[in-house]
Structure 1
Amino acid sequence: MTAWEAAADVVVVGSGVAGLTCARDAAAYGLSVLVVTKAGVDDGSTRWAQGGVAVVDEAAGDSVGAHLADTLSAGAGLCDPVAARDILAAGPTAVARLRRRGAVFDTDPDGVLLRTREGGHHADRIVHAGGDATGAEVARALTAPQGLPVTLADHLALDVALSPDGTAVGVRVLTPDGTTGSIRAAAVVLATGGLGQLFASSTNPAVATADGVAMALRAGAVTADLEFVQFHPTALFGGVAAGRRDLVTEALRGAGAVLVDGAGRSVTAGVHPAGDLAPRDVVALAVTRRMAENVCGIDDHVFLDARAVPEVTRRFPTVAAAAGELGLRLDRHLLPVSPAAHYSCGGVWTDRSGRTSVPGLWAVGEVARTGLHGANRLASNSLLEGLVMGGRAAAAIAAEPVRAADTATVRAPATRWCPPARREEFQRSMSRYAGIGRDAVGLGAVRRLAGRITDGGPGGAGPSRASVEATNLAQVGAVLAAAATARSAGVGCHVRTDDRPDGLVGSLFVSWRDGAPVVDDRRPSGREVANR
């Protein structure tokens, strides 16, 4: 099957937990489904997830209300409590459905799911698979050939195809041989994952280049909460710039490893009473500030010294293996580390079934903003959200009358593809000025650079994977910086070093108009709001 001949009731762009759940459920409802992914079907972020799935066990004394309380606390007042409760309450059913599809979670000898506790939770409600390999097991179950809809791998989605009235009726794609084509569909589901590659250092895989958010913006959709990006304070720095960074567990610092700069000075001394064991956001900010000082000409990482930790290689084999890939040994060398973009709490604004503000366009998973995460995601709520919202979107799509797309009237945004040469420069700028610790001056620099990149495209030149990804990163980076500028008071994982009151009590909504981001503090209007 070639892309320009393809048509389906539903086209799902992306193949993470949310996208594949949606695709499988939609197919089970009798809809024809086509999955489009720019790499392999299992090359998204899902398989890298080390955390579990947060799901309550009422028989053990836990409750949805208690889970909601923990979620709202982490979200720092910016969660949608109604949407959050609905998603959390659907957790047990979603996990049971996944188990029926073959996912194997850790259980006791009697087959009862084992549950653990993670940061921010006040009950044992996290289920895991293979200890720290939950994402890999979820991905394995969802990519099993049986029941998997037709998949176009190595096809990069370019833009949402629109009817004259602005309804989504398909997608334009770039095929492996460099040609472009269109896929017609009555419903377009964006499930492209996160935007971690906006930054020079990320735990996200190389495919996480904000594609879905950019496509939605160009189609006229509204985004929300994009300023809230979680960072892990210590990711291994090195290797290819566009690759996924390996996490360096906090347990290593708990065992005695210390953070130092290029001159060997402590990074966290005097910052917090707990020093290197301070909360993640505190440590990440301390590292970011030290990098900005450019000690000994090093401005993109610091070092973790674990040489004095007893039996460090035996005790931390995963970190040791990752370090070994860079030719380093934990017991002999300093590890280069930097904060890494880990998870986007915001995204394309949706209602409680995954509808965006564009008719016919849906978004599920990390690309979407459902209101569950607010200003800071609670641990292990992300896989849960993907399972629940993927299923809900499929059910809602199946309940709507199937529309036939009129290909004679289809149009797509006149996207100006940017040259990719400045991508690395932009990523470094995002890490420095829009990562952990932001101020108005730095955010202004990001917006100006994004503007120069998006204005400097080759006009009518054909798209390539490099130019499309560079365009998506620059546009979404500009939108993120605009939201972060407008929210001048720090909250959650949005840290403003020039913190000042701004009077905002809710989310910011940002759209893309006439080549620039437009910020509003009012929710989108129309049927989507009514559905909330």
Structure 2
Amino acid sequence: MDMSNLDSTHHFDVVIVGSGGAGLSLALSLPSHYKIAILAKSSLTEASTFYAQGGVAAVLDKTDSIQQHIDDTMIAGAHLCELDAVKQTVEGGRPSVNFLLKHGVEFTLDEDDQLHLTREGGHSQRRIIHAADATGKAISTTLVQRAKEASNLTIFENFIAIDIITLHKLGHIQQDNRAVGLYVLDEQNEKVHTFLAPFIALACGGAMKAYLYTSNPDIATGDGIAMAYRAGCRVANMEFNQFHPTCLYHPQARSFLITEAMRGEGAYLRLPDGERFMLRFDERAE
């Protein structure tokens, strides 16, 4: 789509900021009569989802259970996790996998044509559904294709959300504050657009590119968190950043993720001289 001649003000029922798994899944789950805008900061697939390798955790095996998955998660999170959030996430695992299957994501199957389950760090059971070793790419490309096929979705690539428009920012101080839209930069045409909508969803990931060494893409700069905070939302637990524990390091190139499934299947971490070192820090080692 040629964006250079677009009007600078757009009206939608819903504006979704972010084109990763969360944003695209939401767009495809909403009623088809909603007029929805998807704002992608870069290209449509340039999101953390695309780079995820290992897989999706869900309780599918009959020897596994929701409670076991909850227990594993709480232990991995040093019991600092919000139990209600853990329960909701774990219980949503199977429906989420079914959603992805419905939309055509091709996960790896075993010899019986059932979903192949592997194991990753922190899991006591095999519950990782995967698409070879490029699960995120399979999910991202499939959902992108479905989004392009949906007539009620309008996709804006290289559109960077700058700030949320609220009633209080517009001077309506006497009214209850609420979001009514966004200011968005069309990077290619160097033009700021106004997107107005009664519903705004921030699905733009974390802020891990604040750190030098990370497996996240360059767009992971915490824009959504900052916009939400400026709009009056409460922000909590900012100290809990997730670093993927294994990357391929190269001094002249960006770090490259090595899947957790390697350790889940028994791989060891060693020093250059071959010595294992994780047992110094935790009895669970790798």
1:333-372 correspondence to structure 2 within 5 Å: none
* 1:53 aligns with one of 39, 53, 56: 56
Deviation, 1:85, is 1.1
Mark the structure with the bigger radius of gyration: 1
1:177 paired to 2:189: yes
* 2:218 aligns with one of 194, 202, 206: 206
Relative distance call for 1:248 and 1:33 in structure 2 (3 A) is: closer
- Which position in structure 1 is the counterpart of 2:271? 258
Aligned partners of 2:239, 2:184: CA distance in 1, in Å?
Answer: 29
- Which position in structure 2 is the counterpart of 1:230? 242
Unaligned runs of 5+ in 2: none
Aligned partners of 2:35, 2:124: CA distance in 1, in Å?
Answer: 43
Greater relative CO, 1 or 2 (CA 8 Å, sep 6+):
2
- Which position in structure 1 is the counterpart of 2:203? 191
The answer (yes or no) to whether the contact 1:236–1:247 under 8 Å persists in 2 is no
The residue identity in structure 1 corresponding to 2:139 is V
1:44 paired to 2:42: no
Aligned partners of 2:101, 2:231: CA distance in 1, in Å?
Answer: 36
Aligned partners of 1:111, 1:27: CA distance in 2, in Å?
Answer: 33
Aligned partners of 2:58, 2:103: CA distance in 1, in Å?
Answer: 18
- Deviation digits for residues 134-192 of structure 1, max 9, x if unmatched? 10100011101322721010111000011133201111011122121210011111111
Deviation, 1:278, is 5.5
1:220-369 correspondence to structure 2 within 5 Å: 220-231=232-243, 232=245, 234-239=247-252, 244-247=254-257, 258-259=271-272, 274-275=276-277
1:110-121 correspondence to structure 2 within 5 Å: 110-121=112-123
SS in 2 for 1:223: coil
- Which position in structure 1 is the counterpart of 2:100? 98
The answer (yes or no) to whether the contact 1:3–1:182 under 8 Å persists in 2 is no
Relative distance call for 1:158 and 1:100 in structure 2 (3 A) is: same
Deviation, 1:13, is 0.4
Deviation, 1:54, is 0.5
Deviation, 1:49, is 0.3
Relative distance call for 1:256 and 1:108 in structure 2 (3 A) is: closer
- Which position in structure 2 is the counterpart of 1:72? 74
Aligned partners of 1:182, 1:27: CA distance in 2, in Å?
Answer: 24
Aligned partners of 1:3, 1:238: CA distance in 2, in Å?
Answer: 45
Aligned partners of 1:48, 1:3: CA distance in 2, in Å?
Answer: 34
Relative distance call for 1:279 and 1:56 in structure 2 (3 A) is: farther
Deviation, 1:110, is 3.3
TM-score by length of 2: 0.84
Relative distance call for 1:276 and 1:81 in structure 2 (3 A) is: closer
Relative distance call for 1:109 and 1:209 in structure 2 (3 A) is: same
SS in 2 for 1:140: helix
- Deviation digits for residues 219-243 of structure 1, max 9, x if unmatched? 1111121101222265414336xxx
Aligned partners of 2:136, 2:281: CA distance in 1, in Å?
Answer: 25
Deviation, 1:277, is 6.8
- Which position in structure 1 is the counterpart of 2:110? 108
1:21 paired to 2:25: yes
**Comparing both structures, which one devotes a greater share of its residues to helix?**
1
- Which position in structure 2 is the counterpart of 1:10? 14
Aligned partners of 2:155, 2:258: CA distance in 1, in Å?
Answer: 34
The answer (yes or no) to whether the contact 1:10–1:185 under 8 Å persists in 2 is yes
Q: How many residues are matched?
A: 265
- Which position in structure 2 is the counterpart of 1:449? none
SS in 1 for 2:257: coil
- Which position in structure 2 is the counterpart of 1:35? 38
Large movers: runs of 4+ above 4 Å: 248-252, 254-257, 276-280
Relative distance call for 1:57 and 1:184 in structure 2 (3 A) is: same
The answer (yes or no) to whether the contact 2:269–2:277 under 8 Å persists in 1 is no
RMSD, aligned α-carbons? 2.7
